Chains A and B, each alone.
Chain A
Amino acid sequence: MKDLAENSGQPPGAAPNAPPAIELRGISKAFGPVQANKDISLKVAKGAIHGIIGENGAGKSTLMSILYGFYKADRGEILINGKPTEIPDSQAAIAAGIGMVFQHFKLVENFTVLENVVLGAEEGALLRPTLAKARKHLTEIAEEYEMNVDPDALIEEIGVGQQQRVEILKSLYRHADILILDEPTGVLTPAEADHLFRILRGLRDEGKTIILITHKLREIMEVTDTVSVMRRGEMTATVKTAETSPEQLAELMVGRKVLLRVDKKPAQPGKTILKVEDLRVVDDDKVERLKGVSFEVRAGEILGIAGVSGNGQSELLEVLGGMMPATGRVEINGEAIDLTGKHSDGRSRRKRGIAHVPEDRQAEGLIMDFAAWENVAFGYQWDPAYNKGWLMDNAGIREDTAGKMERFDVRPPHAHLAAKSFSGGNQQKIVLAREIERNPDLLLVGQPTRGVDIGAIEFIHQRIIELRDAGKAILLVSVELDEIMGMSDRIAVMFDGRIMGERLPGETNEGELGLLMAGVTSGEGKA
Chain B
Amino acid sequence: MDFSTLIQILDSTMRLATPLLLACLAGLFSERSGIFDIGLEAKMLISAFFSAAVAYDTGSVWLGLLAGIAASMVFAAIHGVASITFRGNQLISGVALNFLASGMTVLIAQNWFQQGGRTPSLLGKARFEPLTLPFADALSDVPVLGPIYSELLSGHSILVYVALLAVPATYWVLYRTRFGLRLRAVGENPAAVDTAGVSVIGLRYAAVAIAGLLCGIAGAYLATGLQAGFVKDMTAGRGYIALAALIFAKWRPWYALSACLLFGLLQALALRTDVVEAIFPFRMPVQLLDSLPYILTVVILAGFVGKAIPPRAGGQPYVKER
Contact = CB atoms under 8 A, between A and B. Distances in A.
Contacts of A100: 195
B232 interface: no
Interface string B157-194: 00000000000000000011111111011001101111
A192 B17 CA distance: 54
Contact of A125 (B178, B184, B185, B188): B178
Given A106-B191, A120-B198, A127 B175 contact: yes
Contact of B194 (A90, A107, A110): A90
B197 to A, nearest CB: 4
B316 to A, nearest CB: 15
Contacts of B185: 108, 111, 115, 119
Interface in A98-123: 100, 102-103, 106-111, 115-116, 118-122
A331 interface: no
Interface string B203-219: 00000000000000000
A70 B181 CA distance: 23
B320 interface: yes
Interface residues of A, number: 34
Contacts of A182: 322
Nearest to A120: B196
- With most chain A CB atoms within 10 A of its CB, the pick from B191, B195, B312, B320 is B195
A109 B182 contact: no
A120 B193 contact: yes
Given A90-B194, A90-B196, A102-B322, A107 B189 contact: yes
B182 A125 contact: no
Given A106-B189, A106-B192, A124 B322 contact: no
Nearest to A93: B197
Given A107-B189, A108-B189, A89 B177 contact: no
Contacts of A91: 197-198
A258 to B, nearest CB: 26
A62 B321 CA distance: 11
B177 A121 contact: no
Contacts of B178: 122, 124-127, 130
B193 A127 contact: no
Given A61-B322, A106-B189, A127 B181 contact: yes
Nearest to A64: B322
A89 B185 CA distance: 19
A316 interface: no
B179 A125 contact: yes
A128 interface: yes
B176 to A, nearest CB: 5
B175 A70 contact: no
- With most chain A CB atoms within 10 A of its CB, the pick from B176, B182, B185 is B185
Given A65-B322, A70-B320, A116-B192, A109 B180 contact: no
A168 interface: no
Contacts of A65: 322
A94 interface: yes
Nearest to A107: B192
A120 B322 contact: no
Given A102-B195, A109-B188, A118 B322 contact: no
A127 B188 contact: no
A119 B193 CA distance: 7
A120 B176 contact: no
Interface string B196-240: 111000000000000000000000000000000000000000000
A93 B177 CA distance: 25
A70 B320 CA distance: 8
Contacts of A108: 184-185, 188-189, 192
A127 B196 contact: no
Contacts of A127: 175-178, 180-181
Contacts of B193: 119-120
A119 B181 contact: yes
Contacts of B198: 91, 119-120
B206 to A, nearest CB: 14
Contact of B176 (A93, A116, A126): A126
Nearest to B176: A127
Contacts of A89: 197
Interface in B255-287: none
B181 A90 contact: no
Nearest to B195: A106
A110 B322 contact: no
A111 B175 CA distance: 12
A94 B176 contact: no
Nearest to A130: B178
Interface in A142-179: 170
B189 A120 contact: no
B189 A109 contact: yes
A94 B322 contact: no
Contacts of A110: 188, 312
Contacts of B179: 125
Nearest to A101: B195
B59 to A, nearest CB: 40
Nearest to B178: A122
Given A109-B188, A110-B188, A121 B181 contact: no
A165 to B, nearest CB: 16
A186 B146 CA distance: 68
A102 B182 CA distance: 20
- With most chain A CB atoms within 10 A of its CB, the pick from B176, B179, B181, B320 is B181
Interface in A43-93: 61-62, 65, 68, 70, 89-91, 93
Nearest to B311: A110
Interface in B292-322: 312, 320, 322
A89 B197 CA distance: 7
Nearest to A62: B322
B209 to A, nearest CB: 18
B17 to A, nearest CB: 29
A154 to B, nearest CB: 12
A126 B176 CA distance: 6
22 contacts: A62-B322, A65-B322, A70-B320, A70-B322, A90-B195, A94-B196, A100-B195, A102-B322, A106-B189, A106-B191, A107-B192, A108-B188, A115-B181, A116-B192, A119-B181, A120-B182, A120-B193, A120-B198, A121-B197, A122-B178, A127-B176, A128-B176
The 6 A-B pairs at the shortest CB distance, nearest first, are namely: A120-B196, A91-B197, A106-B192, A122-B178, A106-B195, A120-B198
Given A108-B184, A119-B182, 17 more contacts: A62-B322, A68-B195, A91-B198, A103-B322, A106-B192, A106-B194, A106-B196, A108-B192, A109-B312, A116-B192, A119-B185, A120-B193, A122-B178, A122-B181, A126-B177, A127-B181, A170-B196
Interface of A: 61-62, 65, 68, 70, 89-91, 93-94, 100, 102-103, 106-111, 115-116, 118-122, 124-128, 130, 170, 182
